[in-house]
Amino acid sequence: MREDDFIVSKTDLKGRITYGNRIFMEFSGYSERELIGTQHNIIRHPDMPRAAFALVWSEIQAGRECFAYVKNLAKDGSFYWVFANLTPDFDAEGRITGYFSVRRKPRPAAVATAAGLYAAMLSAEQAAGPRDAIAAGTRVLTDLLQDKGMSYEELVLAI
């Protein structure tokens, strides 16, 4: 990504894309027609642990903003890293109606740290098997956070 790029997308409550800006289309390699109505996980890279997405979904479904480093998969099989800010979209009565994601270029040192953490989480998930994968990946993350004496948000913003 370029320094001034912002990838913006919006989904409904089920994670189906309802909006994507031109930068999103450029980096993902998908056209607007291909993206709208499709699950946002169309750009999920297989190197991303399931536990990372479980954490993000837990936060935004609870009405909280969340930050994350994410490795995305483009249509042509290439990938790109982003620093993502994910937030719920509320109606006038305070009900969540969907989700926004604004992504920008991450710092290289942060990508290296996130890639190492995600590799460890993914390894634990694969060793645990599908039924226990998310719990195993989450344990790797929570152990790291306990070792560092940080919350998830503190870690993400620190790297």
CB atoms within 10 A of CB 44: 15
CATH (domain of 138): 3.30.450.20
Give 136-155 pLDDT, tens digit per residue: 999 999 999 999 999 999 99
Is residue 49 within 8 Å of residue 132, measured between CB atoms? no
Decide if 1 is inside a domain.
Answer: no
| Number of domains within the chain | 1
Q: What's the distance, CA 27 to chain centroid?
A: 15
Which tokens go with 111? 């990508």
Q: Could you list the residue range(s) of the whole structural domain that residue 94 is in?
A: 6-158
Decide if 146 is inside a domain.
Answer: yes
Distance (Å) of CA 18 to CA 34, 64, 99, 130? 11, 20, 10, 30
The model's pTM is 0.93
Give 52-88 pLDDT, tens digit per residue: 999 999 999 999 999 999 999 999 999 999 999 999 9
Decide if 41 is inside a domain.
Answer: yes
